């Protein structure tokens, strides 16, 4: 962002969806615009205030916080990429990656009412932070050169917007979905990042977006497991025109467990390698994990709760799933299976110290089906917390291994007070990497409230640590030191070796696999660690026409 590049009011291009057509209205201090954008739209009392806000928006050279929106880049002809991101003033920005200049910004009309508060530089309104276009952006570049971006709003609202950004300097509105749209009356705050993929419905392969029903703000104050009125469900829409193709919601589902909101991204997987989604996994605010199976032969999508790790009436067991599960294929007892890894944590209250959160791995069959056993409960999982399988007693190890083989997965209790998982995990090279946050639970008014962030690395098969937690931050070190391997006879790894404390004292992001100059690293924010044990190789490919 290059604020100094905005020389005068006319140099900034701001677009608003003022009408019902796909053409957007370019914000300007003209009679036409002021007639379209009345004082009521800005939630002010007269046209003078409207004019003042328009002039301020055109001249403002700062951006608000892009709290959850992650930049995404789209390339155009002549190698002129554009970076898109949202902020909490309410803009979706399009930035020239070469110069930092803003090409244009789009603001939904529904967020114009916030501008008087942003102009006044208010930190909050009625005690609440001001939110705008805070959702993550998804892009779809079609083979014919058409380019679309999609974004939700998180706490900024309950809408999804699709923009056609094929023309580099001029966007148009493709479509909008909100609670007034047919079939979306219970859509919650749009936290769920849509997954752009392909699916076979009624014998036809469709380009679709799949997303959770959203967040119900009532969860902000629910101390025990409570059913929601909004955000309950999963939606599949046509990526091109926004048509609702399929949904499972509290309103249309015969499954009584469909009663908690789903702000999480979904995890969509292709089991048979045909390029279309076969299964969808997602967790909800009731601590339930759902599985959806796309049955092409019967033209149905069946679904059920496969795990339930919370309980009614218990504050300590009021676990929630805010983030998408991490799914991998492993060789287990009896053959190949899916490992579905996910951690619980109260995202709305990261300083909560009451809930006992855990990290889980659930076993699932590597097949598409429509028969579902009773949901897995925590007592049916192997408790891997104490690292018995990684111990030195052969007898104890053998007993624990048999218990794990017979169990439906494993879990680790996060024993540090208030520790919770606030991001999805990453499975790579037979190991699950995930981050946690432990708040400072001090009640002293002037005490330092910095938290503790940790990075975990555990075996996907049995949750054992496989290396001592002495991994250095050396960018030239691309593999873990075999001298510190838990498989060495002279090394005894403890449960504490699963994790290392990060320098970051705030909420840590999801670990990311990086390839920097041919060096494979695990990155967590600005910190990085050797990723692999040389069990994987690089793969390269190119598009063929």
What value, to the nearest 5°, has the Cα angle with vertex 82 and ends 78 and 87? 175
Q: Burial-class residue 94 by CB neighbours within 10 Å (0-12, 13-18, 19+).
A: buried
Which residue matches tokens 């604020």?
3
DSSP string, 324-356: --EEEEEEETTEEEEEEEEE---TT-TT--SS-
Q: Has residue 354 been placed in a domain?
A: no
Cβ(282)–Cβ(324) under 8 Å?
Answer: yes
Q: How far is CA 2 from CA 15, 69, 97, 271, 425, in A?
A: 19, 18, 10, 45, 34
Q: How many separate domains does the chain show?
A: 3
Give every residue of the chain whose pLDDT is below 70, as ranges.
1-11, 29, 443-448, 470-480, 532-545
Q: Burial-class residue 287 by CB neighbours within 10 Å (0-12, 13-18, 19+).
A: buried
d(CA 394, CA 400): 10
- Please check whether residues 276 and 387 belong to one and the same domain: no
d(CA 49, CA 51): 5
Q: Has residue 370 been placed in a domain?
A: no
What's the predicted TM-score (pTM) here?
0.94
What value, to the nearest 5°, has the Cα angle with vertex 531 and ends 72 and 324? 50
- In terms of DSSP bridges, do strands 499-501 and 452-459 run parallel, antiparallel, or are they unpaired? antiparallel
Determine the structural domain holding residue 100 and report its residue range.
Answer: 1-177
- Please check whether residues 414 and 450 belong to one and the same domain: yes
d(CA 56, CA 54): 5
Which tokens sit at 440? 């400072």
- Please check whether residues 322 and 442 belong to one and the same domain: no
- Please check whether residues 142 and 21 belong to one and the same domain: yes
Neighbours of 50 (CB within 10 A): 23
Q: Burial-class residue 375 by CB neighbours within 10 Å (0-12, 13-18, 19+).
A: middle
In sequence order, the β-bridge partners of residue 456 are 434, 499
Where is the domain boundary, 326, 347, 373? 326
d(CA 251, CA 233): 9
- Please check whether residues 151 and 214 belong to one and the same domain: no
In tens, the pLDDT along 188-236 reads: 999 999 999 999 999 999 999 999 999 999 999 999 999 999 999 999 9
- Please check whether residues 236 and 311 belong to one and the same domain: yes
Q: What is the pLDDT of residue 194?
A: 99
d(CA 171, CA 181): 22
Q: What is the pLDDT of residue 541?
A: 66
Where is the domain boundary, 258, 293, 326? 326
- Please check whether residues 120 and 231 belong to one and the same domain: no
Where is the domain boundary, 142, 177, 212? 177
- Please check whether residues 67 and 134 belong to one and the same domain: yes
Q: What is the pLDDT of residue 9?
A: 46
Q: What is the pLDDT of residue 517?
A: 78
- Please check whether residues 183 and 145 belong to one and the same domain: no
Neighbours of 313 (CB within 10 A): 8
What value, to the nearest 5°, has the Cα angle with vertex 281 and ends 87 and 73? 35
Q: Has residue 399 been placed in a domain?
A: yes
Long-range contacts of 388-397 (CB under 8 A, 24+ apart): 389/462, 389/463, 389/464, 390/462, 390/464, 390/465, 390/486, 390/493, 390/495, 392/492
81: closest CA among 96, 93, 70, 92?
96
Q: What is the pLDDT of residue 209?
A: 99
In sequence order, the β-bridge partners of residue 248 are 234
Q: Has residue 331 been placed in a domain?
A: no
Q: Has residue 203 been placed in a domain?
A: yes
d(CA 393, CA 26): 72
d(CA 177, CA 155): 16
Which tokens sit at 534? 């040389």
Q: What is the pLDDT of residue 545?
A: 42
- Please check whether residues 149 and 184 belong to one and the same domain: no
């Amino acid at each position: 962002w290059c604020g100094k590049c905005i020389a005068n009011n006319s140099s900034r291009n701001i677009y608003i969806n003022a009408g019902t057509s796909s053409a957007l209205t370019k914000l300007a201090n003209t009679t036409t615009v002021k007639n379209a954008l009345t004082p009521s739209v800005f939630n002010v009392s007269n046209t003078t205030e409207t004019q003042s806000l328009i002039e301020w928006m055109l001249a403002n050279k700062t951006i608000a916080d892009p709290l959850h929106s992650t930049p995404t880049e789209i390339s155009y002809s002549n190698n002129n990429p554009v970076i898109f991101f949202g902020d909490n003033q309410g803009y979706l920005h399009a930035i020239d990656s070469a110069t930092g200049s803003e090409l244009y910004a789009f603001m939904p009309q529904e967020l114009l009412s916030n501008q008087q508060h942003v102009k006044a530089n208010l930190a909050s309104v009625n005690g609440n932070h001001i939110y705008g276009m805070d959702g993550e952006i998804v892009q779809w570049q079609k083979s014919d050169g058409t380019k679309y971006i999609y974004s939700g709003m998180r706490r900024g609202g309950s809408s999804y917007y699709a923009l056609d950004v094929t023309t580099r300097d001029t966007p148009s509105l493709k479509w909008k979905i909100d609670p007034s749209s047919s079939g979306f009356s219970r859509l919650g705050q749009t936290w769920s990042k849509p997954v752009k993929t392909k699916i076979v419905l009624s014998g036809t392969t469709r380009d679709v977006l799949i997303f959770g029903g959203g967040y119900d703000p009532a969860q902000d104050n629910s101390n025990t497991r409570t059913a929601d009125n909004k955000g309950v469900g999963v939606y599949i829409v046509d990526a091109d025109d926004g048509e609702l193709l399929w949904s499972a919601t509290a309103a249309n589902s015969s499954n009584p467990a469909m009663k908690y909101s789903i702000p999480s991204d979904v995890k969509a997987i292709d089991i048979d390698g045909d390029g279309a989604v076969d299964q969808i996994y997602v967790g909800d605010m009731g601590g339930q994990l759902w599985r959806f199976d796309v049955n092409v032969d019967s033209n149905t999508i069946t679904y059920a709760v496969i795990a339930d790790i919370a309980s009614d009436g218990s504050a300590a067991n009021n676990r929630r799933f805010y983030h998408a599960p991490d799914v991998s294929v492993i060789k287990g007892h009896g053959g190949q299976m899916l490992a579905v890894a996910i951690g619980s944590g109260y995202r709305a209250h990261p300083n909560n110290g009451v809930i006992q959160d855990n990290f889980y791995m659930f076993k699932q069959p590597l097949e598409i089906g429509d028969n579902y056993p009773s949901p897995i409960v925590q007592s049916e999982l192997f408790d891997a917390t104490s690292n018995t399988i990684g111990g030195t007693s052969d007898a104890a190890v053998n007993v624990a291994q048999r218990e794990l083989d017979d169990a439906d997965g494993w879990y680790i209790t996060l024993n540090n007070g208030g520790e919770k998982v606030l991001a999805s995990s990453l499975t790579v090279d037979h190991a699950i990497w995930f981050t946690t946050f432990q708040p400072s639970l001090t009640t002293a008014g002037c005490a330092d409230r910095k938290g503790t962030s940790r990075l975990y690395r555990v075996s996907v098969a049995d949750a054992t640590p496989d290396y001592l937690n002495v991994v250095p931050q050396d960018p030239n070190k691309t593999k873990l030191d075999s001298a510190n391997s838990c498989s060495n006879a002279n090394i005894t790894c403890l449960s504490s070796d699963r994790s290392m404390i990060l320098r970051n004292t705030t909420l840590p992001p999801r670990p990311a696999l990086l390839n920097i100059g041919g060096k494979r690293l695990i990155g967590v924010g600005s910190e990085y660690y050797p990723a692999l044990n040389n069990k994987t190789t690089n793969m390269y490919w190119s598009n063929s026409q």
